[in-house]
Structure 1
């Protein structure tokens, strides 16, 4: 079994909103702590299988966050990703005072309508040579 000890953002590779979020995270993550893998990639499928995450993520196909030890879903994934950016972004942890069902209500509303609102790509993004070490295939 692979180690998967690094923090990995798992995202919908054909979703324009998700790809935009990845582009933003790549810019904000100046220390290059985060790695990325589209949910359609063999890498993500293998991580999910190797760590027996199928039950935990059932029905979630937008953004997930593997912190190196456990999977975070929905609004928790977004908050944990922001926390991993460090600096000012750590303040996002304050959002945990909002009950998870309320946070997830907003998350689900956006996730459910993301293709209609932001569009969809035909193919997953291909990493440029400078991003090859951060976008996992």
Structure 2
């Protein structure tokens, strides 16, 4: 199946960020329906998606989710991804009661400091066996 024909949502993440790579591992363990595919921002596909949606791939301070022909960023994207895991994870939507400017300000602070606080890999983390088809390059 080609990438364009695959209707699963795409999560664009920072492939060298320790926190971001942990986030992807968290999703892989809990996404039993394989709803999400992943594109590191360091790959051609990841860069293209960031640019297409108005985000700077060389200075990303935002998380991007592309799903059903629409794009979400920052906390809206995070909450949508987690709620998409189903079950009790849907309760994360309650956090949208917090005003978006407050949540996004906190998220952007975390994003700007992610390397300092959590560390950085020398190269993109290798794909885990059994999940190769879920990663776009």
1:77 corresponding residue in structure 2: 77
Q: Which secondary structure state, in structure 2, belongs to the residue aligned with residue 129 of structure 1?
A: coil
TM-score normalised per structure 2:
0.86
Are the equivalent residues in 2 in contact too, given 1:4–1:68 (CA < 8 A)? Answer: no
1:44 corresponding residue in structure 2: 46
Q: Where in structure 2 are there 5+ consecutive unaligned residues?
A: none
Which one is further off, 126-135 or 11-20? 126-135
How many aligned residue pairs are there? 132
1:109 corresponding residue in structure 2: 109
Q: Which secondary structure state, in structure 1, belongs to the residue aligned with residue 38 of structure 2?
A: strand
Structure holding more helix per residue: 1
2:66 corresponding residue in structure 1: 66
TM-score normalised per structure 1:
0.86
Q: Compute the displacement of 1:106 (Å).
A: 1.2
Measured on the aligned residues, the alpha-carbon RMSD in Å equals 1.8
Q: Where in structure 1 are there 5+ consecutive unaligned residues?
A: none
1:24 corresponding residue in structure 2: 26
Are the equivalent residues in 2 in contact too, given 1:79–1:92 (CA < 8 A)? Answer: yes
